[in-house]
Chains A and B, each alone.
Chain A
Amino acid sequence: QSALTQPASVSGSPGQSITISCTGTSSDVGGYHYVSWYQQHPGKAPKLMIYDVSNWPSGVSNRFSGSKSGNTASLTISGLQAEDEADYYCSSYTSSNTVIFGGGTKLTVL
């Protein structure tokens, strides 16, 4: 299984909104409502930010939102803050009852 496709990097200024895409196939992203997004700061374990395409775990800011259209899922961060600078990974459940991650996107807050 090949990794889901994410842009290598995105950037934005404080207060702006950015969107990170995550493209898969009909066997993963497009076929199920099971896309998650993770935030990872350097040297730290990933943190769940969005699950089941658009749901927030307890304690996660609603500045983070998720959506999906066809084989592409998206994470939008609004009101960008300095602490949002991190790596972001998407993941999806697959038709093989496995999980696949995206290659990761480095978010830079200018």
Chain B
Amino acid sequence: QVQLQESGPGLVKPSETLSLTCTVSGGSVSSTTYYWSWIRQPPGKGLEWIGYVYYSGSTNYNPSLKSRVTISVDTSKNQFSLKLSSVTAADTAVYYCARGMRKVDYWGQGTLVTVSS
């Protein structure tokens, strides 16, 4: 059974960089079959796709976030990571890491990141 677990600070100051890591167990980020995605959900609002990374390191991002987002993969640790720079209160959300892109079949439990001074 594939499991994903997000980790990182729950509180980030405005203008700083949000950094989260997703640790995968029961599966491998080195798989050539899957993309690995980050998705977020502001409190009380809908889902927003942030971007994905492939085992090779290739990425693609939501155009509205592209200038601030970096997603990377560490195959040696079976992890992938998200960095979102210059955050504002609008970036407050539950952040999910997930397996897949066109279809997302496994999700982490989500982690709430609050942007506040």
Contacts and interface: CB of A to CB of B under 8 A. Distances in A.
A98 B105 CA distance: 17
Interface stretch (A11-19, A46-54, A67-75, A76-84): A46-54
Contacts, number: 61
Interface size bracket, B side: 20 to 34
A104 interface: yes
Interface string B96-112: 10000111110111100
A38 B46 CA distance: 12
Nearest to A96: B63
Contacts of A30: none
10 contacts: A36-B104, A45-B96, A45-B107, A48-B105, A91-B47, A98-B51, A98-B62, A100-B49, A101-B47, A104-B47
